[in-house]
Amino acid sequence: MLTVTRLGIVVGFVAAALAGCSGESAPPPAAKSGTETPVAAAGAGPAIVVTATPAAAEAAQPVADKSATDKPAGDPKTAKANGDTLIEASIGNVSSLIPNITSDAASHEVGDLIYSGLITLGKDLQVEPELAKSWAFSKDCLTLDFKLRDDVKWHDGKPFTADDVVFTWEATMDPKMPSSYKADFQDVEKVEKTGPYAVRVIYKKPYAKALVSWGITILPKHLLEKYVKAGNIKEAPQNWSAPVGTGPYRFQEMKSGEKIVMVANPDYFKGRPPISRIVYRVIPSQATIFLEVKALGVDVASLTALQYRRQTEYPAFAKEFNKFRYPGSGYTYFGFNLKDPRFADRRVRLALAHAINKQDMLDGVLLGLGSIATGPFRPGHWANNPDVKPIPYDLKKAMALLNDAGWKKNAHGMLEKDGKPFTFELLTNQGNDERKKVAEIIQASLRELGIGVEIRILEWATLLKENIKKRNFQAIVLGWGTGSDPDQYVVWHSSQAGPDDLNHISYANPEVDQLLEAGRSSCNQADRVKYYRKLHQVLADDQPLVFLYWRDALPAVSSRVHGVEPGPAGIKWNFTDWFVPKPLQRYTAN
């Protein structure tokens, strides 16, 4: 499915993003930094979402493929109308219908249509009002006052008020709440209601993402308070069968592993969205999704590089679909469980990085539709350090590092140490052909050094629940999604390695912790640059995981859908403005 969070930020598992579709993770709604997503989403797939801030307007401008721009301007079949159903493909199933307790892109994709945040991100990644109609910072950046809309209702008809905002903060920070986004509010001293539709947030110290962090999903106090207090929010009906939000679409039904259906909210505070029904079809294979696209069984999907470059270049496809290509916000990585003593050794990690020819991987897997990754900041972002160069492909260097770490070849040509061979299991998510190819390239590359790699491919939800959260893995091929703000505290800080946190690899580096803390503690971008560029260099030198590549987003959208406007935020920033003119509508839906 198209991975686009409320703030257009996702730092999640990018497994093609570590999410269900592609394997990427997703960050919190407005400041998602650390979100996982599978790679089948139109854009990044499962990947970890990183917090977004207004500073990302410099992001590369997405461009439409020629087929998306050649529609006649005066076509009479373009009048805006309500109706029709939009069917979107997702490689992965959602893990919950309460986004605040999830980190996968699939859950946030669905949740962001059901719920709202106080703020959101616009076309150019600028912060815009959503449930809040205005805000003001004190001069010392320690107090943030929100004025809320007074015309918003929950889907069950109850009014939205300041009580819900205070509750959402209290719930997020409750020790019994399994949320990965506590770090976004750890510097908040208190949140207080100053009126029925007014909230004041007081910070202990300046926090760079203070405003953007309030893109987090606001939860209904009247429905969830008792579950939060009891420590069993996962047992709430809203978690799986009856979510109630304030967003543009209302939940209708879900058949786990098959589909999720939502219908337009007639009482949405920004106006009823034109498309009447949204269906997310869970199709755990990129190849099967593509067959459904060609059969017109899916209206929105993410294409693989091969599909985009070679399998859609014919007139019939150009007639039925518009293709888009723009720099993606997620990177694919080869990660390690750093509690494994083999991977805890930096020399071993550097050796594995030197053993992989990333340019060949980029050309072979993505057909050049992406760029080599040197760290967690995408090329062109203000936090990216242009002086950091890719680790070169060098098998001799790799072998020297392994020998120095005590690994020697035995009579069978396999590396061993203390009589034990160097073999490990490499996990990735099901349905992501690109990640499977990456895993196979890693397997073949390391075989040349005498390292044995066994690949195991798991269903997305199982991989997250049984392996990633429980740290029950040796190595993984997944992805992280990033946002406009470079704060990735939730991904790299040593305090974020708990079972519900996003530092899945159990990385701990005091210098990295210090840089992360300093980078998020300033309101001045000029001050933050030095911290993040240093962080980029330290991570590149330490290689806690092998940064592989940034994947271009390659979504395809049915040509009957109008109103798609590509921008730095991608194509789904204005999803609630998409429509299908009456003569082009395919399904009956009011």
State the chain's mean pLDDT as an integer: 88
Q: What is the pLDDT of residues 200-222, one digit of tens each?
A: 999 999 999 999 999 999 999 99
Is 40 a residue whose pLDDT tops 50? Answer: no
Q: Which CATH number covers residue 215?
A: 3.90.76.10
Distance CA 423, CA 416 (A): 9
- Tens of pLDDT, residues 284-323: 889 999 999 999 999 999 999 999 999 999 999 999 999 9
How many Cα atoms sit within 13 Å of 506 on the Cβ side? 18
Which pLDDT does position 550 carry in this prediction?
A: 97
DSSP-assigned beta bridge partners for residue 260: 254, 280
Q: Quick one: 561 and 493 in the same domain?
A: no
In this structure, the answer to whether residues 157 and 266 fall within a common structural domain is no
- What is residue 522's predicted lDDT score, i.e. its pLDDT? 84
pLDDT, greater one: 350 or 25: 350
**Do 530 and 424 belong to one domain?**
yes
Specify whether 524 is located in the same domain as 575.
no
Residue 44: its pLDDT value, please?
A: 30
Indicate whether 224 and 244 sit together in one domain. no
Q: Is 175 exposed, middle or buried (0-12, 13-18, 19+ CB in 10 A)?
A: exposed
Q: Give the CATH number, domain containing residue 521.
A: 3.10.105.10
Q: Residue 37: pLDDT above 50?
A: no
| C-alpha 531, offset from chain centre | 23
pLDDT for res 64: 54
Is 470 within a domain? yes
Within this chain, do residues 75 and 177 fall inside the same structural domain, yes or no? no
CB contact at 8 A, 557 and 564: yes
Question: Does a structural domain hold residue 3?
Answer: no
Do residues 441 and 541 both lie within one domain?
Answer: yes
Residue, of 365 and 41, whose pLDDT is higher: 365
CATH of the domain at 580: 3.40.190.10
Is residue 193 in some structural domain? yes
Q: Are residues 158 and 294 in the same domain?
A: no
Query: Is there a single domain that holds both residue 263 and residue 220?
Result: no
Query: Is residue 408 one of the residues assigned to a domain?
Result: yes
55 — pLDDT class (breaks 50, 70, 90): very low
Mean pLDDT of 339-350: 98
Q: How confident is the model at residue 74 (pLDDT cuts 50, 70, 90)?
A: low
Residue 7 lies in a domain: no
Q: Which residue has the higher pLDDT, 16 or 171?
A: 171
User: How far is residue 524's CA from residue 234's CA, in Å, rounded to a whole number?
Assistant: 39
CB within 8 A of 40, min separation 6: which ones?
1, 16, 20, 21, 22, 46, 89, 90, 91, 92, 283, 286, 289, 301, 302, 431, 432
Both tokens of residue 249? Answer: 């679409």
pLDDT at 523: 79
What's the confidence (pLDDT) of residue 24?
A: 42
CA–CA separation, 451 and 531 (whole Å): 36
The confidence band for 67, taking pLDDT boundaries of 50, 70 and 90, is: very low
Read off the pLDDT band of 575 (50, 70, 90): very high
Q: How confident is the model at residue 65 (pLDDT cuts 50, 70, 90)?
A: low
Nearest CA to 553 among 231, 201, 105? 105
- The fraction of the chain above a pLDDT of 70, given in percent, is 87
The parent domain of residue 207 ranges over: 119-230
- Domains: count for the chain: 3
Q: Do 269 and 318 belong to one domain?
A: yes
Q: How far is CA 378 from CA 209, 278, 290, 315, 570, in A?
A: 18, 31, 28, 34, 15
Q: What is the pLDDT of residues 479-526, one digit of tens each?
A: 998 888 999 999 999 999 998 899 999 999 999 999 999 999 987 888
390 with 496, same domain: the answer is yes
CB 560 within 8 A of CB 574: no
Task: For residue 590, tell me if it sits in a domain.
Answer: no
What region does 570 belong to: left with phi over 0, alpha with psi -120 to 50, or beta? Answer: left
Residue 391 lies in a domain: yes
**Within a domain: residue 266?**
yes
The string of pLDDT tens digits covering residues 395-444 is 999 999 999 999 999 999 999 999 999 999 999 999 888 999 999 999 99
- In this predicted structure, what is the pLDDT of residue 76? 58
Of 183, 204, 230, the residue that ends a domain is 230
Higher pLDDT, 54 or 303: 303
Are 288 and 403 found together in one domain?
A: no
